A and B are shown apart, each in its own frame.
Chain A
Amino acid sequence: MTRFLSRPNAALGLIFFSFMLLAAAWGLLATPYDPLRPDVWARLQAPSALHWLGTDGFGRDVFSRLLVAAWVSAGVSMATVALSVTLGTAIGAVAGYLGGRVDDGVTVLMDALMSFPAILLALGILAAIGPSPGGVVLALGLAYTPSVVRVVRGSVLSLKEREFIDAARVLGHGPLRTLLTHVIPNCLTPLTVLATAMFGNALLSESALSFLGAGVPPPAPTWGGMLAEGRQHVQAAPWLCIFPGLAISMALLGINLLGDALRDLLDPRMNKL
């Protein structure tokens, strides 16, 4: 752990990412203003001592909304990663372990899902089921599942031939027990690297979907939704376009730096990015 944090990009990434976690925690506990209550007398006010980052078109405090949005985005992204890792690991492990027809079927299905750019597949799913936080998790979770399946299936295929798996079988372990206790723990390294990257992608995609009005519906604050609103007031209130984007970028920078450092550490063969 200390070796990990002594890397400059890991330390820097952790600092940036902590900002997001701190904001999320703050947003969860208490905010300076009610992030949802409109105030017609305080519309589009520039940043001041009263409203640190100004107010939006409904007179809501931008800083309070940013804090709550951190919580919303972090929650949605984490749930997305959890969903796709669970689903992808189960499908990938079964397909790789069983092989044959099941494996062929899964591979074709995953190839088909991967032919859609993730954000378009998510848009399509959300168009069918309607915008909601749960919908975003489901849509993005499904869109990211094929990449998890691919990684887990690949690891299982190479692990399956190894002696310790045969040993487990000889000892009388059933397929499920072998998968859970011997195969999946050995996939954890590539999965961790992938999950970090997916967390960043989920965060970016959730922002983009909310920006398009297909993600988390208003009045719940999201960084993407706040930018969409800022776009309408780009002349009168430029700060509405600046701070939410800064928040997304800082969070993503933190995650990307951490992800690079993690990959360097866990996969020394790739030690070059």
Chain B
Amino acid sequence: MGAYLLRRCLMTLPTLLIVAVIVFLLMRLVPGDPVSVMVGDMADPATIAAITRNLGLDQPLPVQFLHWLGNILTGDFGTSITTGEAVLPAMLHRLGVTAQIVLISMTLAMLIAVPAGMLAAWRQNKGTDMVITGLLVLFISVPSFWVGLLLILLFGVELGWLPTVGYVAITDDPLRGLLYLILPCASLVLVEMGVVARMMRSGMIDVLRLDYITHARAKGLAEGPVLWRHAFPNAFAPTLTFIGLLLGSLLGGAVVIETVFTLPGLGRFLVDAIEARDYPVIQGCLLLVAMIRILVNLAVDLAYPLLDPRVQL
């Protein structure tokens, strides 16, 4: 058990290293000299040469990489070219906004999707199942950013009930802060619900075919306890792994939703940085998201045996 834990944790190190190499090399793909891109074409050659030397860009690539990696490991992600702020604190601040949307919408989606998936599996191939699976395939086919636009159109423009753009920190004003989060979260809930419920349904169908379920039914147990006490824990374990993976990719989906609702989240930070060619911020955001995803996957892997005792480490 201990050995497995250690091995699994160590296995993430090469992945993290390659991720860093990819992020580093990606920004070297930029056509032309990064310094003249940063300061503009107007600067005189002497200034460009000075900045190049300052940033260490006259060193060979491997040296540059090690230098950069060393800085990252000490928490120095560089400074933004456009605003001059340190990248790491700026990212963490914005990550808070993104995390709120992702976690709230995922919690809501799970609360609806898990029972819906179980119900569909229980009534497999019957009318209820057909209706649910039909709705689910519809949900996963509608892009979240379009749902966001439609919600803005309905609740913001037509009805005028909810604010459509901007953000108020929940810590500053809980009630207004929550109002600003309703529409962005609602846009993400549909698609998340679709994916999670489909996963839950297929996991549940697998479990309901097993002998121990037949046995539980044969001994006269009511359907409620059979489903929730016997089938649910085993069917939920794979779904939870999947939700872990999904949380990571939601950091990608949040990019678009944050743009629709002009929320100051990590995704919007990245998109703005791309428009402004702010390379330290682009690198920082990509690296941070990949790191979060690797750690979430690690956590899910390690938590799996707790949920599913059949899995021995």
Binding site for B on A (CB under 8 A): 9, 108-109, 111-113, 115-121, 123-130, 204, 207-208, 211-214, 227, 230-231, 234-235, 238, 241-242, 244-245, 248-249, 252-253, 255-257, 260, 270, 272-273
Q: A214-B271, A234-B149 are in contact. Are A273 and B256 (CB under 8 A)?
A: no
- Whether A124 and B26, one on each chain, are in contact in the complex, defined by CB atoms closer than 8 angstroms, is yes
- Whether B29 and A234, one on each chain, are in contact in the complex, defined by CB atoms closer than 8 angstroms, is no
Q: Which residues of A contact B31 (CB under 8 A)?
A: 129-130
Tell which of B65-73, B136-144, B174-182, B224-232 binds the partner: B136-144
A249 to B31, CA, bound (A): 36
Q: Which residues of A contact B251 (CB under 8 A)?
A: 117, 120
Judged by DSSP, the binding face of B is: helix
- Whether B201 and A272, one on each chain, are in contact in the complex, defined by CB atoms closer than 8 angstroms, is yes
Which residue of chain A lies nearest to B266 when distances are taken between CB atoms in the complex? A120
Binding site for A on B (CB under 8 A): 14-15, 18-19, 21-23, 26-27, 29-31, 124, 133, 137-138, 140-143, 145-146, 149-150, 152-153, 156-157, 198, 201-202, 205-206, 248-253, 255-256, 259-260, 270-271, 274-275, 277, 282, 285-286, 289-291, 293-294, 297
- Whether B152 and A120, one on each chain, are in contact in the complex, defined by CB atoms closer than 8 angstroms, is no
A238 to B275, CA, bound (A): 27
Which residue of chain B lies nearest to A255 when distances are taken between CB atoms in the complex? B141
Q: Which residues of B contact A130 (CB under 8 A)?
A: 31
- Whether A231 and B15, one on each chain, are in contact in the complex, defined by CB atoms closer than 8 angstroms, is no
Q: How far is the CB of B312 from chain A (nearest CB, A)?
A: 23
- Whether B143 and A248, one on each chain, are in contact in the complex, defined by CB atoms closer than 8 angstroms, is yes
Q: Which residues of A contact B18 (CB under 8 A)?
A: 108-109, 111-112
- Whether A117 and B294, one on each chain, are in contact in the complex, defined by CB atoms closer than 8 angstroms, is no
Q: A117-B249, A117-B251, A129-B29 are in contact. Are A234 and B271 (CB under 8 A)?
A: no
A3 to B274, CA, bound (A): 49
Residue of A112, A123, A238, A260 most packed against chain B (CB within 10 A): A112
Q: Which residues of B contact A9 (CB under 8 A)?
A: 137
Q: Which residues of A contact B286 (CB under 8 A)?
A: 116, 120-121, 124
Sampled A-B contacts (26; CB under 8 Å): A108-B15, A112-B18, A116-B19, A117-B249, A119-B252, A119-B256, A120-B289, A123-B274, A124-B26, A125-B26, A128-B29, A204-B143, A208-B145, A227-B146, A227-B149, A230-B149, A242-B150, A245-B143, A245-B150, A252-B141, A253-B137, A253-B141, A255-B141, A257-B137, A272-B206, A273-B198
Q: A112-B18, A208-B145, A252-B143 are in contact. Are A119 and B255 (CB under 8 A)?
A: yes
A124 to B29, CA, bound (A): 10
Q: A249-B142, A253-B138, A273-B202 are in contact. Are A119 and B30 (CB under 8 A)?
A: no
By Cβ-Cβ distance, the 7 closest A-B pairs, closest first, are A117-B252, A245-B146, A112-B18, A253-B141, A252-B141, A128-B29, A115-B290
Judged by DSSP, the binding face of A is: helix
Q: Which residues of B contact A129 (CB under 8 A)?
A: 29-31
Q: Which residues of A contact B201 (CB under 8 A)?
A: 272-273
Which residue of chain A lies nearest to B144 when distances are taken between CB atoms in the complex? A208
- Whether A211 and B30, one on each chain, are in contact in the complex, defined by CB atoms closer than 8 angstroms, is no
Q: How far is the CB of A232 from chain B (nearest CB, A)?
A: 11
Q: How far is the CB of B13 from chain A (nearest CB, A)?
A: 10
Which residue of chain A lies nearest to B254 when distances are taken between CB atoms in the complex? A117
Cross-interface CB contact of B23 among A117, A119, A124, A255, cutoff 8 Å: A124
Q: A123-B271, A128-B29, A213-B275 are in contact. Are A112 and B22 (CB under 8 A)?
A: yes
Q: Which residues of A contact B137 (CB under 8 A)?
A: 9, 253, 256-257, 260
Contacts A109-B18, A234-B152 known; 4 new A-B pairs at CB < 8 A:
A117-B248, A120-B251, A211-B145, A235-B157
Q: Which residues of B contact A234 (CB under 8 A)?
A: 149, 152-153, 156-157
Q: Which residues of B contact A119 (CB under 8 A)?
A: 252-253, 255-256
A224 to B142, CA, bound (A): 13
Q: Which residues of A contact B19 (CB under 8 A)?
A: 112, 115-116
Q: Which residues of A contact B26 (CB under 8 A)?
A: 124-125, 127-128
- Whether B293 and A117, one on each chain, are in contact in the complex, defined by CB atoms closer than 8 angstroms, is yes
Which residue of chain B lies nearest to A252 when distances are taken between CB atoms in the complex? B141
A260 to B138, CA, bound (A): 12
Which residue of chain B lies nearest to A251 when distances are taken between CB atoms in the complex? B141
A136 to B202, CA, bound (A): 33
Cross-interface CB contact of B149 among A207, A231, A257, cutoff 8 Å: A231
A234 to B260, CA, bound (A): 11
Q: How far is the CB of B289 from chain A (nearest CB, A)?
A: 6
A127 to B37, CA, bound (A): 13
- Whether B149 and A245, one on each chain, are in contact in the complex, defined by CB atoms closer than 8 angstroms, is yes
- Whether B282 and A124, one on each chain, are in contact in the complex, defined by CB atoms closer than 8 angstroms, is yes
Q: A111-B15, A129-B29, A231-B260 are in contact. Are A241 and B149 (CB under 8 A)?
A: yes
A122 to B269, CA, bound (A): 16
- Whether B141 and A249, one on each chain, are in contact in the complex, defined by CB atoms closer than 8 angstroms, is yes
- Whether A117 and B289, one on each chain, are in contact in the complex, defined by CB atoms closer than 8 angstroms, is yes
Q: Which residues of B contact A116 (CB under 8 A)?
A: 19, 22, 252, 286, 289-290, 293
A113 to B15, CA, bound (A): 9
Q: A115-B294, A120-B270 are in contact. Are A241 and B142 (CB under 8 A)?
A: no
Q: Which residues of B contact A256 (CB under 8 A)?
A: 137, 140-141
A208 to B146, CA, bound (A): 10
Q: How far is the CB of B256 from chain A (nearest CB, A)?
A: 5
Q: Which residues of A contact B149 (CB under 8 A)?
A: 227, 230-231, 234, 241, 245
